[in-house]
Amino acid sequence: MATSHESTTSDSAVPTPKSEVPSIADEKSSNNPQGGGQQNGTDDETPLSLFLSTFKAARTQWVARQVIIMISLLFRLGVGLGPYSGFSDPPMHGDFEAQRHWMEITYHLPMKEWYWYDLQYWGLDYPPLTAYHSWVMGAIGSRIKSSWFALDTSRGCEDINLKSYMRNTVIISELLIYIPAVSMFVRWTIKNQKLSPLYHSIASAAILLQPALILIDHGHFQYNAVMLGLSLLAITNILMDKLVVGSVFFVLSLCFKQMALYYSIPIFAYLLGICIFPRLNLPRFISLALSVLVTFALVFAPIILTSAGGPKGPYDQVVQILIRIFPFARGLWEDKVANIWCTLNTFVKLKVLYSSDTLQRLSLVTTFVSVLPAFILLFLYPRKKALIWGVSASAWAFFLFSFQVHEKSVLLPLLPVTLQLAGDPGVNAQSYIYWINNVAVFSLWPLLKRDGLVLQYFVISFLANWLMASFKKLPDSLLGKVTIILSYAGIVGLHAMEFLIEPPSQYPDLWVLGNITLSFGCFAIFLLWNYVQLYRACMQSPPNDGVRT
């Protein structure tokens, strides 16, 4: 195997022989002899690494990165050809119509009316940055064809050209935010861990080809990648010691979608920890606090200022926005989601036995308890290698135990989990990461099936796993092997029974309940494993040196 120096200076245009194909493990171990890429001695060649070996020469590595972006866009475009949430399903349709409707009202109405207008029909329930994004997309779309976003009369519009426009807004948003954020994070990781430059492309592909995000944003239809991209920019800048910039980006992610709160506890703990340890740094703390407050103020200012002097003043606007983005009245969960509450409700009817207020308090306590270890560890041991494990643990805890969770919220813990592939997790960790990604996609099956995305679900899942050869990866421990193999067998079995056997009339949701129960069990196991990795990262990593604001 060539060393990193040879791989970056070779002028040969001849493809690397098969024996020298840069697998994920090889690319890492060539620069990091103590890395975990070959920890169990398995051959880690993948179809993707075989293909990328063509670009091993230094002068062609930039081509490899562009090819990965084009492949990821091709995946997205292919999924986008299918139907979307609520297609031909009046009167409310689905998330596609919700996003279109927000473009309609933000373009036609003054800002002071955005969070008040006809709340029974997809009232705006995301923070102001989503509203501004909707306004921009609505303004551009109205220039193309005004009937797509005509106030009230455009409701339920299913023009095929509108679908094309909306799909393209998701792709453009990703190209502007998410894909650059992934590239920036991978580039920092490669440099920080002294990994091979070609591994940049392999790691980027593993993140960009994550099936769950592609199926939800480009199939079901949402803009989750914008929020995830802003969060990733925040994490990367914090890891680069650009703490103020990172804080600004994290506030922006919160102001785009409130679900970014899943990441807030570990990020706050890490920043607070480096402000206090090894010695109190008051100027750093003040600068971070001011950056957060100023960013929130700037994002909310346009809506608040335009409401001054009206019947619904600034205070009313802020209260209304908070009510809209934290809808506790909706209940403990929505639809069928693989968290503890929906799973328990299969056996114990929680909504019948307990009031909504009681369930809210119960979810608050369980969420607090489950995320507390991440806060304590990152506060006392604010290590860079531990930050992403902490963000992942917190997001899983919120998803599994918090109030008002959607099945799509699984995208939040999946991002930091998948980011670990950019570093040097080793085949053992890779096996768990790919496994939980597959389980997460399976947990979305009831939603995707309802949207008519059955073909996309199977094709994208197969292609992503085939390219990374993820089914070949199993952990070292017997317990880990058995857990993963049995869960995969359960997934295959549930799919087979759903296609071949009609559920009993008294249990029409039997297969769906099997889905959420199996998925929840896997998620809970992964959370425990995640906490073990977080603890090890905190205990084994040296303190951060030279952190600047």
HEC per residue, 154-209? CCCCCCHHHHHHHHHHHHHHHHHHHHHHHHHHHHHHHHHCCCCCCHHHHHHHHHHC
Indicate the burial class of 278 (C-beta count within 10 angstroms; 0-12, 13-18, 19 or more).
Answer: exposed
Q: Would you state the pLDDT for residue 42?
A: 34
Closest CA to 163 of 148, 152, 182, 142: 148
| Phi (first) and psi of residue 405, to 5 degrees | -105, 135
Examine residue 115 and state whether it is found in any structural domain, yes or no: no
* Tokens 């969420």, residue located: 367
In the chain, how many H helices and how many E strands? 25, 0
Identity of the residue numbered 330: R
Examine residue 307 and state whether it is found in any structural domain, yes or no: no
Q: Which domain holds residue 343?
A: 4-83+162-280+327-540
Closest CA to 530 of 441, 439, 426, 420: 420
Q: Would you state the pLDDT for residue 19?
A: 38
Examine residue 57 and state whether it is found in any structural domain, yes or no: yes
Which residues in the chain show pLDDT less than 50? 1-43, 546
498, 511 contact by CB (below 8 A): yes
Report residue 390 as tokens: 């902490």
- Domain count of the chain? 1
Q: Would you state the pLDDT for residue 200?
A: 81
Examine residue 114 and state whether it is found in any structural domain, yes or no: no
Closest CA to 251 of 240, 241, 261, 242: 261
Examine residue 298 and state whether it is found in any structural domain, yes or no: no
Examine residue 287 and state whether it is found in any structural domain, yes or no: no
Report residue 314 as tokens: 């600034």
Identity of the residue numbered 292: V
Question: How far is residue 177 from each of residues 225, 256, 352, measured CA to CA in Å?
Answer: 8, 12, 43
399, 410 contact by CB (below 8 A): yes
Examine residue 245 and state whether it is found in any structural domain, yes or no: yes
Examine residue 228 and state whether it is found in any structural domain, yes or no: yes
Closest CA to 242 of 328, 184, 166, 159: 184
3-state SS class at 292 = helix
Our measurement of the distance from residue 424's CA atom to the centroid of its chain's CA atoms, rounded to an integer in Å, reads 20
List of residues 6+ apart from 170 with CB closer than 8 A? 76, 80, 217, 218, 221, 222, 223, 225
Q: What is the CB neighbour count within 10 angstroms for residue 31? A: 19
